Amino acid sequence: MDNHQIENLLKEIAAGNKTVAEGMEQLRDFPQEALGNYAVIDSQRELRTGFPEVIFGQGKTDEQIIEIFNRLHQRNPNVMASRISPEVYDRIRQRLPEARYDATARILYTREEKSGRPGILVITAGTGDIPVAEEAALTAEIMGNQVERIYDVGVAGIHRLFKRLPEIQAAKVIIVVAGMEGALASVVGGLVQCPVIAVPTSVGYGANFQGLAPLLAMLNSCANGIGVVNIDNGYGAACLASKINHLSEQSA
């Protein structure tokens, strides 16, 4: 139950269209609902943070994903499960006919179709970084943002980045996704006024150390205004970017 549903419920009770007992029944599972002994749904998440609870699919059984997804969808049109492999989706798709699936982002979701807030740009260093970038981009879109994408503009051919500079400098918040040595975040951070969220990826040869090398490079950046999330964490970058992008809306 989100804040709009609670507000409407209170108005219904105040107007005499619903009894207090009926209202209590609707609020029975608020703020949480236990599903067996494996999950507790946080029904209050959207009220606290602005977006409903998200399912982390990795490590969950098919049955757990299906049950949690359906329960969340009963309360909100926006439901998202991350790290859903194509193999898992093939097994559960018939039982979640209303859900859409993006194989690149590995996200299973339903989404309320409405225009989002413009301002987020996602940039990758290479084509190999696109799966993490798409996790970030699609997550941000589901969270109510318009997202632009600029892919494969890494430092090995930096002229590709400079060609897109007007678009880059027009963004309100930028997510930079890079593996190998992770230098792209510093380059972008030195060209823009807006916040930059750097996402190191595990893409790279041995000394990349599965993302540790770009993570350390991004943390040690001398460019101002860069924040860094965990390795391959496109979802976390999108959450932060969405909050930044909606700040002016909340203060209006």
Range with the lowest mean pLDDT among 1-15, 140-154, 169-183, 194-208? Answer: 1-15
pLDDT of 210 strictly over 70 = yes
Structure tokens that stand for 24 in this block? 């209590």
Across 71-75, 85-89, 107-111, least confident range: 71-75
pLDDT at residue number 53: 80
pLDDT at 8 over 90: no
Q: What's the DSSP call for residue 206?
A: G
Q: Which tens digits make up the pLDDT trace of 94-128? A: 998 889 999 999 999 998 877 888 999 999 999 99
Q: Say which residues have a Cβ less than 8 Å from residue 118's Cβ, sequence separation at least 6.
A: 145, 146, 172
Instruction: Please tell me whether the overall predicted TM-score, pTM, comes out greater than 0.85 for this model.
Output: no
pLDDT of residue 126: 94
C-alpha 26/C-alpha 148 separation (Å) is 39
Residue 27, judged by CB atoms within 10 A of its CB (0-12, 13-18, 19+), counts as middle
pLDDT above 60: residue 248: yes
Give me 9's structure tokens: 């419920």
Instruction: Report whether 145 contacts 117 (CB < 8 A).
Output: yes
For residue 171, give the amino acid letter. A
Question: Of 209, 170, 187, nearest to 124 (Cα)?
Answer: 187
